[in-house]
């Protein structure tokens, strides 16, 4: 990925996790918090830090927020501060604003005042945990719509030693295999004669109901 300028506002647990991952990926990250201790605690994961109240327009301008391509508003419990911050960032012309919402209503307001992407960490994580409890072979997934997903599914041992053709995944389960992961080796767009080993992981795209049927084979 090209280098972008990221700013994270609110260096609590959520904001710090985002800053850390971006920083590890070599991106420039500014960490901002009203509380100096929070900025200090995150100093290993940020390129620069600023102690600022982001509900004040003049403060946002003085820390140079307009230079950032993407600003993540990770203020959680103080809803008023999170909404005001997003409103001001939008007024200052920030191109990409991502904001954490505590609930649906908070999310709707954030969208109205200019957030481009709303994240619901508790709700999203709760749904992920439930999904993985229901389908233990599903290691990871990306929801594409209400109907379709891409899932990382561990093959049942009964499929070890068989080819994709033998299993007729497309005809029987209506799924398309995008890649096969065998230990550290990844085969993109595997051919029908690709033999799978016990423990391999398939990356498959299809309807959620079909994915669920496939991932629950013993
Ligand atoms: P988490 O659950 O991720 O720890 P919190 O809501 O507890 O989230 O923390 C969010 C952070 O946002 C806190 O460190 C808090 O100091 C910071 N914060 C709250 N209000 C403002 C504000 N007006 N300007 C800047 N930072 C703020």
- Write out pLDDT tens, residues 105-160: 999 999 999 999 999 999 989 988 898 888 888 888 898 998 999 999 999 888 99
Give Rg (Cα) of the chain. 22
CATH class as words, domain 124-215:
alpha beta
CB neighbour list of residue 7: distance below 8 Å, 6 or more residues apart: 29, 30, 31, 32, 65, 68, 70, 71, 72
Residue found under tokens 């767009």: 189
Q: Give the pLDDT mean for 45-59.
A: 96
pLDDT surpasses 70 at 212:
yes
pLDDT of residue 2: 66
pLDDT surpasses 90 at 211:
yes
pLDDT surpasses 90 at 217:
no
Mutate which of 75, 79, 120 to test ligand 1's pocket (most atoms within 8 Å of Cβ)? 75
Instruction: Indicate which atom in ligand 1 lies nearest the CA of residue 10.
Output: 12
Domain boundaries, the chain: 5-119, 124-215
Q: Which of 83, 88, 85 is nearest to 106 (CA)?
A: 83
- Write out pLDDT tens, residues 171-199: 999 999 999 999 889 999 999 999 999 88
Provide the whole-model pTM.
0.79
Ligand 1, residues at Cβ distance < 6 Å: 9-15, 33-35, 38, 53-55, 74-78, 81
Task: Write a three-state SS string for 80-102.
Answer: HHHHHHHHHHHHCCCCEEEEECC
Higher pLDDT, 168 or 70: 70
Residue 176 tokens read as: 């398309």
How much distance in Å is there from the Cα of 130 to the middle of ligand 1? 28
pLDDT of residue 103: 94
Assess contact for 176 and 202: CB atoms under 8 A.
Answer: no
pLDDT surpasses 80 at 218:
no
d(CA 204, CA 211): 8
Mutate which of 30, 34, 72 to test ligand 1's pocket (most atoms within 8 Å of Cβ)? 34
Residue found under tokens 């969208």: 111
- Write out pLDDT tens, residues 53-111: 999 999 999 999 999 999 999 998 999 999 999 999 999 999 999 999 999 999 999 99
Q: Is the dihedral of CA 153, 156, 161, 162 positive or negative?
A: negative
Q: Which CATH superfamily is domain 5-119 in?
A: NAD(P)-binding Rossmann-like Domain (3.40.50.720)
């Amino acid at each position: 990925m090209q280098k972008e300028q990221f700013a994270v506002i609110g260096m609590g647990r959520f904001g710090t996790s985002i800053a850390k991952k971006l920083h590890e990926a070599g991106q420039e990250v500014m960490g901002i918090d009203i509380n100096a201790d929070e900025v200090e605690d995150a100093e290993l994961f940020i390129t620069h830090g600023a102690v600022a109240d982001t509900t004040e327009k003049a403060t946002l301008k003085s820390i140079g927020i307009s230079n950032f391509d993407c600003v993540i508003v990770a203020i959680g419990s103080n809803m008023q501060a999170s909404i005001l911050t997003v409103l001001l960032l939008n007024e200052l012309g920030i191109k990409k604003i991502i904001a954490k919402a505590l609930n649906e209503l908070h999310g709707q307001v954030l969208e109205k005042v200019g957030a481009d992407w709303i994240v619901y960490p508790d709700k999203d994580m709760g749904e992920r945990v439930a999904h993985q409890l229901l389908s233990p072979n599903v290691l990871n997934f990306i929801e594409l719509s209400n109907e379709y997903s891409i899932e990382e599914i561990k093959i049942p041992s009964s499929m070890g030693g068989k080819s994709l053709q033998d299993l007729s995944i497309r005809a029987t389960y209506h799924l398309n295999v995008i890649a096969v992961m065998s230990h550290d080796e990844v085969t993109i767009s595997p051919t029908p004669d690709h033999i799978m080993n016990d423990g391999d992981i398939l990356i498959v795209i299809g309807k959620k109901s079909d994915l669920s049927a496939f991932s629950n084979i013993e």
